[in-house]
Structure 1
Amino acid sequence: MDVRQGKLNDCWLLSAIASLSLHRPLLEKVVPLEQSFDDKYSGCFCFRFWQYGQWEEVRVDDLLPTLEGRLVYLNSPEKHEFWSSLLEKAYAKLKGGYRALDMGFPHEAMVDMTGGVAEVMSMASLPRDLPAFLSYLLEKGALINCANCQGPLEQRNELGIMFRHAYSLTGVEKVRTMYGPVDMVRILNPWGNTEWEGPWSDFKGPEWNTVSKEEQQRLDRVNREDGEFWMAVSDFRQNFELMEVCHLTEALNESGSTVQPWCCTMHHGNWVPRISAGGSPSGGLFWQNPQFYFTLLEEDQNPADPQKSCSFLVALMQKHHRRRGVNLAIGLHIYQARSDSKYLSPTDLSVLRPVLATPAYSSRREVVLRGRLAPGHYIIIPSVSEPNQEGAFLIRVLTEKGNAAAPAEKPGPQDIASIKEQPSFPHLTALPSPKSTRRLFKKHCNKNGFCKPAELHDLLTEAIQGGVLAGSEKKLVLEHCKSFVVLMDSQGLAKLNWPEFKNLWDKIRRWTDIFLVFDKNQSQRLEYPEVSPALKAAGIMVDDFVLQLVGLRYTEPDLTISYPGFLFLLMKLDSMIHKFQAYDMVGMGSITVSYRQWLHMTMYN
């Protein structure tokens, strides 16, 4: 890959793209093939990014910012090569504009482009046998970036390493020299120049004279300033401060690939005010946070591990936090489960201590807890640092081996890890289980696997009838379902496939939790004064004028909002906010109306 950084400080994005380009199947997932300026050219290009558990399509036109006839941002030295510039534009659209790309984290870009789990490690925390650890990560397909954050932005130290600049680590080898083997790493500067000038450098490294030509050919060493260089592991430790590792959760569809990625179990959840609580595990309200049941049944096949333990990672991601302008401080605690229960009571939490926990609460988009535990049953508790904070989250568990989907009550011989939602979610009393929901979809979709508005109406009616909100389905009308389909349909077909319906259902579950919390008298209706705090609990901030529109447009004659009406209102607001950010291409209000004006206009419809 040969790409030049433009006027944005987005070397973090270049580093992620450089790592991605090393694996063609990963790059092709983000940049679909069969797009060119030739046949049937329409001026539109399509890219795909992973967002909170699913792949989203982003379309952009071919207009790129220029100054005096030259591209302003990311570009290629090749005059007729534009894929990297268009990819940067699509990612800017996803994030809210080019300005949103000015300074960032490589690990976040890598997650968005692979669907993996990113782990940030300080150099001081890395194992003593670093070559073996790096080899293990690369064998599992991990994408690795590294940086030195101790000096001025993108200035060099005395040996050529740039401060606060993202590099990619692409290989680790035991290099044979005439004096014995040397552990070395291969590093790539995405700028394509400015290389390491210490021992083993391309031009100033006499050490290469001790390595045979055959060995250098095995390493694919190129003696030119192309941004790629080798350095000893000891020098790597001294010249870099941190490492960002993106663990893959999908196998590479690449011929000859021996990569064995982690197996991933994923679940969506929500912190709801007056249900979720913050603070330390010993706090009196900590038990009200969501709980997940986690089973490890088969230890790693590692003869060097005398403890016979199971390796895993737990990743907790707060969703849409930048869109809401709120950075929650989030954390993870893992407890040993009781033998007779899959849920920890307040009494349990008052006496138990976690077997693993994040060192502190963090406002990062995602926190990752790496661990090794003996086979057994555990409880994962994701929490926020302060009481009564709201927010949606995604929790993922990565295990060394496969994850069978058998119920935790009757584990089979192949059950390695399972994660089950616990009954601290109000929607469990109102909506069918995930398995029942899948059966409902198959029952009501057509023979091609699509669900149209009328079929969605029948599906939701049957789903609501079986729980504590039974009777609310009488307020569900076909117009609601038409809007649900239009707002969730990503292909313009006026019908939903299973992934699109599942995305809708995840929203319904989270919003049902909020509705049941704020339906204080269990009347299956929200009183008008409860609308504003309920919207806030969903992460949507509106002004008094929008609330007045809600009262006029979305309430019943008695100024209450029914359960279906509440779902319709949140779907409308959520979609309009997302569309505003998609249209605001440069992140500076360039669509001629403000965010507030946009909501005022769209809420009339």
Structure 2
Amino acid sequence: KSRAIKTSPEAEFLTHPSMSETQKQSRKNSSDSNPWKSLGSPTLLWSPTSGLPLQDGLYTDARFPVQNMPIQTDVVWKRPKEICPFPQFIADGATRMDICQGELSDCWFLSAVASLSLNPSLLNLVVPSGQGFQQGYNGCFNFRFWQYGEWIDVRVDDRLPTRNGQLIYLRSSNKDEFWSALLEKAYAKLKGGYNALNMGFPHEAMADMTGGVTEEFMVPPDHRKLGSFLRPLLQKGALINCANSKGSFEKSNELGILFRHAYSVTGLETIKTTVGSVELVRIRNPWGKAEWEGPWSDKKGIEWNMVSAEEQRRVQRIQQEDGEFWMSLADFCQNFETMEVCHLSQDTLSESGIIKPWKCTSHHGQWIPQQGPPQYSLTLLEEDDDPSDPELTCSFLLALMQKCARQRGILFPVALHIYKARSERDASQLSLVLSTTKDLGYVQRRELVFRGRLAPGHYIIIPSTSEANQVGEFLLRPMSPRLAGLPPVNEAKDLFVKHCVKGPYCSPLDLYNLLTEAIAKGVFAGCEKKLSLEHCKSFVVLMDSQGMGRLDLTEFQALWEKLRKWTGIFMTFDKNKNQALDYLEIPAALTAAGIRVDEFILQLIGLRYTEPDMTVSFPGFLFLLMKLDCMMRKRAHKSKSN
């Protein structure tokens, strides 16, 4: 059943599920036991007032884990001001050219950084601005990484390992620039030291620096599908890495592509030539050297002679040994085997324009012995905008990440099961519609990612382990190209508990704060500004069966079900997706809600409920339907009494 569902071009590729916090190290205040000393660093001095070790009045990170590093007597730890006379944190902007690999085998991390540099807003989140070596410099630099649903700060000093005055690990092509080297040090601290960065997978680094969800794809042999696969991903702001694992580690094939080495996909362009147009993909090697030597290469690519200088400037082609190169889609398919695609959510990708990130919600859960498996609702409301899809289906991604697996040293084999439910509140009769076990079995990975399409409706997600009574925590993240207008009832209950702090009742002000948060996190973000306290007072009065001016949980849930039903109607009839219904769209929307009005009532609605431009906002539509629903219920009650 799962493979019978029609998939998007992205899903036509074979998919596989994707695969720590800082280890705090105590340290004796003795030069003999000082681990820095064996690495060529001067002895630390402890500040009696702050408890922080100081060196020449500058911050020194005594918690950076160096015990696992190999002892190298020729390595000296130096600050940037000891390496060059005029160091800069970022020089002329942070770009993919600032990443050149050193002696560590951490191309998996560097390729993710190169991809990250293509998104300035996201890079600024990981590498906060306002840091440098001029005014206010104190030897301390801060970075941010995503860990299990939240962003954490990692602080490091600026001492970096050098040999003969040169950085031995990550460096920039500009010898006066140090943001990338310090970012690598901060990530090493997060993972347990520089040595912990030897060997890995790009998806782990991409998740830690974006909070995104990563899928792994096999590159198809037919290049004709590759362009339509890559373009929408890049438009959504996805980070893409590629590799070829068919040969020995970091040995190259006859055309210069390294085996078992991570590259970044940084662009896709249709380039005009004297004989027509050709589609090329731009690749970045984090080594900063060792480029592709086939057609369209910098060294031997005579094909560039057919491209005008103006066109080459447009695509920012630079003919030098910098690790960046172009290649045709056909050559890409022949020289790379796998791709890791990190899908970004709206929370981390704030670019406007053509960028269309996936929408994401997060559920923190745990497996507890002697208890049933945890269950989470998934509501799919609006079909994809895919004219080639004859079925009315909704795309989604599910990502199940095991927490702190590295610290535990245990990775459970896990799976995801999706059941069809009658409604959000009725899970008494469930029917299995999808399961990752059908094609993948139980997967022993840090993060299991599953892509699918289902008809609009209500579903239950059950994350499970292969054996019963396992103990562990996880993060479940459903992602979709579209968000529901309002969260499902179970999430609304969490908002009820969060905002109704004075007791198990919801006041108009509580409802206003609750709805404001819910709308701001949904597809109608921005419409919360049109929500008023008067709206919420009416909602409470119209649903309050006890005349107390407040709603208990049962009344609140009944209200929420109405609001979600009407939200779905609003989404259906908002044809131009401008978060408002035009006056002429109102009759059909009311009919869909089971309410028929004549022309006179419609004119009254136009006078009372529309904005100056004769549209009805999302909160205004909910308010209108609540009023009409209440009038109809009163009329029905009166008719029954008579």
Q: Which residue of 2 aligns with 1:396?
A: 477
Q: Which residue of 2 aligns with 1:333?
A: 417
Q: Which residue of 2 aligns with 1:204?
A: 300
Query: Contact 1:264–1:403 (CA<8 Å) still a contact in 2?
Result: no
Q: Which residue of 1 aligns with 2:377?
A: 293
The structural deviation recorded for 1:313 is 0.7
The structural deviation recorded for 1:23 is 1.5
**Distance verdict in 2 for CA 1:125–1:159, change over 3 Å:** closer
Q: 224-233 or 177-186: which moved more?
A: 177-186
The structural deviation recorded for 1:83 is 1.5
Q: Secondary structure at the residue paired with 1:440?
A: coil
Q: Secondary structure at the residue paired with 2:98?
A: coil
State how far apart, in whole Å, the 1-side matches of 2:381 and 2:336 are. Answer: 38
Q: Which residue of 2 aligns with 1:78?
A: 174
* Residue 313 of structure 1 pairs with residue 374 of structure 2: no
The structural deviation recorded for 1:441 is 9.4
Q: Secondary structure at the residue paired with 1:209?
A: helix
* Residue 354 of structure 1 pairs with residue 450 of structure 2: no
* Residue 224 of structure 1 pairs with residue 316 of structure 2: no
Q: Secondary structure at the residue paired with 1:401?
A: coil
Q: Which residue of 2 aligns with 1:436?
A: 497
Instruction: Using the aligned pairs only, state the percent identity.
Output: 57
The structural deviation recorded for 1:212 is 3.3
The structural deviation recorded for 1:156 is 0.8
Q: Which residue of 2 aligns with 1:324?
A: 408
Q: Which residue of 1 aligns with 2:230?
A: 134
The structural deviation recorded for 1:242 is 0.5
State how far apart, in whole Å, the 2-side matches of 1:30 and 1:82 are. Answer: 15
State how far apart, in whole Å, the 2-side matches of 1:60 and 1:312 are. Answer: 38
Opposite residue 420 of structure 2, the aligned amino acid is Q
The structural deviation recorded for 1:73 is 1.9
Q: Which residue of 2 aligns with 1:411?
A: none
The structural deviation recorded for 1:126 is 9.1
The structural deviation recorded for 1:194 is 1.0
Q: Secondary structure at the residue paired with 1:230?
A: strand
State how far apart, in whole Å, the 2-side matches of 1:55 and 1:216 are. Answer: 39
Query: Contact 2:217–2:338 (CA<8 Å) still a contact in 1?
Result: yes
**Distance verdict in 2 for CA 1:353–1:406, change over 3 Å:** closer
- List per-residue Cα deviations over 1:410-456 (Å, max 9, x = no partner): xxxxxxxxx759xxxxxxxxxx845313433999xxxxxxxxxxxxx
Query: Contact 2:109–2:205 (CA<8 Å) still a contact in 1?
Result: yes
Q: Specify which of 467, 470, 478 is matched with residue 386 of structure 1.
A: 467
Q: Which residue of 1 aligns with 2:130?
A: 34
Equivalent runs, 1:205-604 vs 2, <5 Å? 205-250=301-346, 257-275=353-371, 288-338=372-422, 342-343=426-427, 348=430, 352=432, 354=434, 359-408=440-489, 433-440=494-501
Q: Secondary structure at the residue paired with 1:269?
A: strand
Q: Secondary structure at the residue paired with 1:112?
A: helix
Opposite residue 215 of structure 1, the aligned amino acid is E
Opposite residue 366 of structure 2, the aligned amino acid is N
Q: Which residue of 1 aligns with 2:191?
A: 95
State how far apart, in whole Å, the 2-side matches of 1:202 and 1:442 are. Answer: 69
State how far apart, in whole Å, the 2-side matches of 1:162 and 1:245 are. Answer: 20
Query: Contact 1:293–1:342 (CA<8 Å) still a contact in 2?
Result: no
Q: Which residue of 2 aligns with 1:6?
A: 102
- List per-residue Cα deviations over 1:302-343 (Å, max 9, x = no partner): 222221211111111001000111111222122222459643
State how far apart, in whole Å, the 2-side matches of 1:256 and 1:289 are. Answer: 40
TM-score of the aligned structures, taking structure 2 as reference length: 0.60
Opposite residue 244 of structure 1, the aligned amino acid is E
Query: Contact 1:127–1:133 (CA<8 Å) still a contact in 2?
Result: no
State how far apart, in whole Å, the 2-side matches of 1:254 and 1:119 are. Answer: 21
Opposite residue 442 of structure 2, the aligned amino acid is Y
**Distance verdict in 2 for CA 1:210–1:38, change over 3 Å:** closer
**Distance verdict in 2 for CA 1:311–1:354, change over 3 Å:** closer
State how far apart, in whole Å, the 1-side matches of 2:349 and 2:240 are. Answer: 20
Opposite residue 387 of structure 2, the aligned amino acid is P
The structural deviation recorded for 1:77 is 4.2
* Residue 123 of structure 1 pairs with residue 203 of structure 2: no
The structural deviation recorded for 1:53 is 0.3
Q: 334-343 or 299-308: which moved more?
A: 334-343
State how far apart, in whole Å, the 2-side matches of 1:126 and 1:337 are. Answer: 39
Opposite residue 64 of structure 1, the aligned amino acid is L
State how far apart, in whole Å, the 2-side matches of 1:385 and 1:307 are. Answer: 33
Q: What RMSD, in angstroms, separates the aligned Cα atoms of the two structures? A: 2.6
Query: Contact 2:101–2:288 (CA<8 Å) still a contact in 1?
Result: no
Q: Secondary structure at the residue paired with 1:381?
A: strand
Opposite residue 379 of structure 2, the aligned amino acid is T
Opposite residue 263 of structure 1, the aligned amino acid is K
Opposite residue 199 of structure 1, the aligned amino acid is P
Q: Secondary structure at the residue paired with 1:311?
A: strand
State how far apart, in whole Å, the 1-side matches of 2:485 and 2:259 are. Answer: 45
The structural deviation recorded for 1:155 is 1.2
Q: Which residue of 2 aligns with 1:153?
A: 249
**Distance verdict in 2 for CA 1:55–1:438, change over 3 Å:** farther
State how far apart, in whole Å, the 2-side matches of 1:107 and 1:17 are. Answer: 11
Q: Secondary structure at the residue paired with 2:251?
A: coil
Opposite residue 440 of structure 1, the aligned amino acid is V
The structural deviation recorded for 1:76 is 2.6
State how far apart, in whole Å, the 1-side matches of 2:415 and 2:147 are. Answer: 20
Query: Contact 1:292–1:420 (CA<8 Å) still a contact in 2?
Result: no
Opposite residue 333 of structure 2, the aligned amino acid is R
Query: Contact 1:330–1:363 (CA<8 Å) still a contact in 2?
Result: yes
Opposite residue 370 of structure 1, the aligned amino acid is R
- List per-residue Cα deviations over 1:390-415 (Å, max 9, x = no partner): 1100011111112333444xxxxxxx
Q: Which residue of 1 aligns with 2:587?
A: none
Q: Which runs of 5+ in 1 are unaligned?
A: 276-287, 409-418, 422-431, 444-605
Q: Secondary structure at the residue paired with 1:354?
A: strand
Q: Which runs of 5+ in 2 are unaligned?
A: 1-96, 505-642
State how far apart, in whole Å, the 2-side matches of 1:228 and 1:130 are. Answer: 20
Q: Give the count of matched residue pairs.
A: 407
State how far apart, in whole Å, the 2-side matches of 1:328 and 1:130 are. Answer: 34
**Distance verdict in 2 for CA 1:213–1:380, change over 3 Å:** same
State how far apart, in whole Å, the 2-side matches of 1:173 and 1:251 are. Answer: 28
Opposite residue 264 of structure 1, the aligned amino acid is C
The structural deviation recorded for 1:78 is 3.3
State how far apart, in whole Å, the 2-side matches of 1:442 and 1:218 are. Answer: 62
Query: Contact 1:15–1:190 (CA<8 Å) still a contact in 2?
Result: yes
State how far apart, in whole Å, the 1-side matches of 2:230 and 2:211 are. Answer: 21
Query: Contact 1:317–1:367 (CA<8 Å) still a contact in 2?
Result: yes
Opposite residue 439 of structure 1, the aligned amino acid is C
Opposite residue 405 of structure 1, the aligned amino acid is L
State how far apart, in whole Å, the 1-side matches of 2:423 and 2:342 are. Answer: 35
- List per-residue Cα deviations over 1:117-176 (Å, max 9, x = no partner): 111112149996221111000010001000111111111110110111111111122333
State how far apart, in whole Å, the 1-side matches of 2:360 and 2:352 are. Answer: 23
**Distance verdict in 2 for CA 1:442–1:402, change over 3 Å:** farther
Opposite residue 283 of structure 2, the aligned amino acid is I
State how far apart, in whole Å, the 2-side matches of 1:84 and 1:442 are. Answer: 50
Opposite residue 321 of structure 1, the aligned amino acid is A
The structural deviation recorded for 1:196 is 0.8
State how far apart, in whole Å, the 2-side matches of 1:434 and 1:119 are. Answer: 31
* Residue 48 of structure 1 pairs with residue 132 of structure 2: no
The structural deviation recorded for 1:103 is 0.6
Q: Secondary structure at the residue paired with 1:41?
A: coil
**Distance verdict in 2 for CA 1:437–1:126, change over 3 Å:** farther
Q: Specify which of 192, 203, 208 is matched with residue 107 of structure 1.
A: 203
